[in-house]
């Protein structure tokens, strides 16, 4: 696609969206894998609390999430004061703030598939590995992770696509700063508000096709894998 198809601002916004989604997914995988493992394996009563908290962003209006993050990260919030005390730039109205917001917003899309996948791995496979001399960490990486790969694929793709389309949190938290916090979905809103429907159409179609392609990957992966795992 040529640069004339998208305006330079559109391209920058697309790049920011992609970068935001990619960074969010990587950080979420690192953070959510141990959390999902705990939720899948624990017999503690705290599990339901953890599950409810992990699902909260699903039902919370994005503007509510964004609003509280703004308060938290702003100059008078705990987060903002902590950052200031550590001599760091405040996160509100910055790309870092967007990453934090996106992580919270997309967290359920990583935790829930991972938790389900870990649960379906089951205790038995891990016990088998233990009797074959594998230490707990060894068992996790050589048995649990490969057997839960569907969960990793599903979680990554869903979180990526969900972050691409995020609007409310970004608007509340990042403002609308071109080149820094202005994502593609915000630019679409700006185009539409300015009645530049052609420009909005170009970006919208791009996101539509990208999201559909990503979902196609998820469903294709989920269809292929169970045939092998079926008789496990």
Partner 1 sequence: MSLALDISWSRPDFRLTVDCEFPDSGITALFGRSGSGKTTLLRCIAGLERAPRATVRFNADVWQDDHHFLPPHQRPLGYVFQESSLFSHLDARANLEYGLQRVPAARRRIGFDQAVQFMGLESLLAHRAGELSAGQRQRVAIARALLTSPQLLLMDEPLSNLDLASRAEILPHLERLHDALSIPIVYVSHEIGEVTRIADHIALLEGGTLRAFGPIHDLLTRPDLPLAHLEEAGSVFEGVIAQHDAQYHLSYVGIAAGRLAISLRDAPLGQRVRVRIDARDVSLALRPPEQTSITNILPGRVMDISDDRDPAQRLVRIDVGGRPLLARITLRAVTQLSIAPGIALYAQVKSVALMN
In the complex, the residues that contact partner 1 under the rule CB under 8 A are 124-125, 127-136, 138-139, 142-143, 146-147, 149, 227-232
Among residues 73, 76, 65, 47, which one has the least CA distance to residue 107? 65
Closest CB to partner 1 among residues 198, 228: 228
CB of 139 to partner 1, least distance (A): 8
Closest CB to partner 1 among residues 116, 175: 116
Closest CB to partner 1 among residues 147, 200: 147
Whole-angstrom Cα distance, residue 52 to residue 48?
A: 6
CB of 62 to partner 1, least distance (A): 37
Q: Are 99 and 90 in contact (CB under 8 A)?
A: no
**DSSP secondary-structure letter at 232?**
-
CB of 147 to partner 1, least distance (A): 6
Closest CB to partner 1 among residues 122, 165: 122
Q: Are 148 and 221 in contact (CB under 8 A)?
A: no
CA atoms within 13 A on the CB side of 219: 6
Closest CB to partner 1 among residues 143, 200: 143
CB of 138 to partner 1, least distance (A): 8
CB of 125 to partner 1, least distance (A): 7
Please report the DSSP string for 166-222 in residue order: --HHHHHHHTT-TTTT--HHHHHHHHHHTT-HHHHHHHHHHHHHHHHHHHHHHHHHH
């Amino acid at each position: 696609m040529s640069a004339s198809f998208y305006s330079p601002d559109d391209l920058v916004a697309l790049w920011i969206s992609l970068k935001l989604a990619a960074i969010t997914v990587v950080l979420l995988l690192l953070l959510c894998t141990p959390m999902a493992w705990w939720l899948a394996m624990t017999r503690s009563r705290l599990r339901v609390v953890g599950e409810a908290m992990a699902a909260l962003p699903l039902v919370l209006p994005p503007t509510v999430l964004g609003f509280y993050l703004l308060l938290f990260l702003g100059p008078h919030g705990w987060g903002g004061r902590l950052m200031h005390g550590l001599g760091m730039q405040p996160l509100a109205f910055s790309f870092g703030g967007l990453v934090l917001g996106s992580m919270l917003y997309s967290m359920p899309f990583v935790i829930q598939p991972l938790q389900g996948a870990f649960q379906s791995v089951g205790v038995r496979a891990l016990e088998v590995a233990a009797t074959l001399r594998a230490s707990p960490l060894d068992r996790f990486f050589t048995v649990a992770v490969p057997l839960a790969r569907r969960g990793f694929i599903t979680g990554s793709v869903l979180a990526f696509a969900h972050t691409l389309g995020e609007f409310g949190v970004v608007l509340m938290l990042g403002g609308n700063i071109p080149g820094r916090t202005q994502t593609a979905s915000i630019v679409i809103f700006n185009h539409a508000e300015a009645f530049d429907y052609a420009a909005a159409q170009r970006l919208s179609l791009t996101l539509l096709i990208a999201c559909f392609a990503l979902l196609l990957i998820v469903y294709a992966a989920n269809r292929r894998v169970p045939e092998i795992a079926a008789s496990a």
